[in-house]
Amino acid sequence: MSLSPFAIIALVLVLARATAELWLSRLNQNYVRAHADEVPLAFREMVDEPTYRRSVDYTLAKGRFGEVVTVFDAALLITLLFSGVLPWAFGKFTAAFRASVWAMAGFLFVTGFALSIIGLPFAWYAQFKLEDRFGFNTTTVKTWVLDRLKGFLLAVLLGFPLLALVLKLIEWTGANWWIWAAVLVVAFQLLLMLIAPAVIMPLFNKFTPLPDGSLRERLFALAQRTDFPTRSIEVMDGSKRSRHSNAFFTGFGRFRKIVLFDTLVAQLAEPELESVLAHEIGHYKRRHVLKLLGVSILGVFIGFAAVAWLARQQWFYRAFGFEYHAGFAAANVVPAMLLFALLAGTISFWFSPLAHFWSRRFEYEADAFARATTVEAQPLIQALRKLTEKNLSNLTPHPLYSGFYYSHPTLLERENALRTGD
Ligand SMILES: [Zn+2]
């Protein structure tokens, strides 16, 4: 088969991204190996030789696994785009169920489902081989299977009707359908944010109020001192799946709650937990949550505008073997939507250094906030060091690699920023 000019551009985009990812991964692994002989000077007082070796091994193992996934994903994407399997399946679907909105939504849903099935062996390997080898995995097979089933049910109950409604909007609202669709999706996202802590998250984890005692008093005092309205501080059984640790807050306004992983509570001392919470509150106080929400809303509008535009460009889906349906907008929007979803990452990838640069600035701001509220920098530095050590984080990432992939500054960068405030 001969490729149209745009198909060739798409192929180049897919290959360029995969090549860049493989190159960055190699660069990083070589850099880590070059520092692997002894613990770098800056970390000698925080990490012992055996732990450092394990962090090097963990980084290299994840790097190699990532390369396999990158190659597989690129090969899969190229197959999907250029084998004609998507137009063929689309034809079968519309022939079997007629070109109704439900059939269209069904096509997108089944395609997404098939792709997630293809990814399952990798998810399995990551959890039960890779994470397990380094002592992080605590997920049982039962939990793993149940998680996937619950995820699937949520997609059927929430995702599928939303998708059908978006396509229905094309019929109802005409050329400006994408504005209505974006409004609908954003409203749905906000609703989900509102109800998730009460309805969805408990499906996956147990949440228990932090028991009475000095830690609870200390954290509530911090919330009060920083004027952070919260009703409850809860402990989540993160240890059900992994020994990795985390903290976050969720919900809006009065329904906001602070969630600490039980693994975090076990790993950190009280002043350290306080500093981690202060950091999280810093994200809220510096309006990072609102800004990120704003960007995500903007992203939804841009995404739908792009799909609506692409759906009118015959060359776009003809390049991938789809036919143009005159007078039936939804039948053009669906392939455009699918192709957009498949190809968007090949372009957005190149913007990730920019997005991460922005995200790292937020982290510095939250650190500075934590430092100001807990008076001294030491508890947060101590907490960051412990978390780095317990999570076997890479202590010596290549600067270009961390620039591309890290949403957080490296430990040294954060320590230096916290210390210059002293
Ligand atoms: Zn943060």
DSSP 91-142: HHHHHHHTT-HHHHHHHHHHHHHHHHHHHHHHHHHIIIIIHHHTT-B---HH
Which residue in the list 131, 274, 367, 415 is annotated as catalytic?
367
Query: Residue 261: helix, strand or coil by DSSP?
Result: strand
Share of the chain above pLDDT 90, in %: 79
Instruction: For residue 1, name the pLDDT band (cuts at 50, 70, 90).
Output: low
pLDDT of residue 330: 82
Ligand 1 centre distance from Cα of residue 279 (Å): 6
Which tens digit of pLDDT belongs to each residue from 34-72?
999 999 988 988 899 999 999 999 999 999 999 999 999
Ligand 1 centre distance from Cα of residue 283 (Å): 7
Would you call 367 a catalytic residue per the annotation? yes
pLDDT at residue 422 greater than cutoff 70: no
Angle between the 288-311 and 329-348 helix axes, to the nearest 10 degrees?
130
Rounded CA-CA distance 394/94 in Å is: 49
Which residue in the list 73, 234, 272, 280 is annotated as catalytic?
280
Instruction: For residue 386, name the pLDDT band (cuts at 50, 70, 90).
Output: very high
Rounded CA-CA distance 376/386 in Å is: 17
Ligand 1 centre distance from Cα of residue 284 (Å): 10
Ligand 1 centre distance from Cα of residue 197 (Å): 20
Query: What mean pLDDT do residues 94-103 have?
Result: 82
pLDDT of residue 171: 87
pLDDT at residue 406 greater than cutoff 70: yes
Which two three-digit tokens encode residue 325? 């349906």
Query: Residue 313: helix, strand or coil by DSSP?
Result: coil
DSSP 31-83: HHHHT-SS--GGGTTT--HHHHHHHHHHHHHHHHHHHHHHHHHHHHHHHHHHS
Which tens digit of pLDDT belongs to each residue from 280-289?
999 999 999 8
Short-list 290, 279, 263, CA closest to 222: 279
Ligand 1 centre distance from Cα of residue 247 (Å): 9
Which tens digit of pLDDT belongs to each residue from 126-151?
999 999 999 999 999 999 999 999 99
Which two three-digit tokens encode residue 411? 């430990």
The number of CA neighbours under 13 Å toward the Cβ of 370 is 32
Ligand 1 centre distance from Cα of residue 364 (Å): 8
Instruction: For residue 95, name the pLDDT band (cuts at 50, 70, 90).
Output: confident
Query: What mean pLDDT do residues 386-403 have?
Result: 94
Rounded CA-CA distance 278/284 in Å is: 10
Which tens digit of pLDDT belongs to each residue from 306-331?
999 999 998 988 899 998 887 677 88
Q: List C-alpha distances in Å: 203 to 199, 206, 235, 362.
A: 7, 8, 15, 31
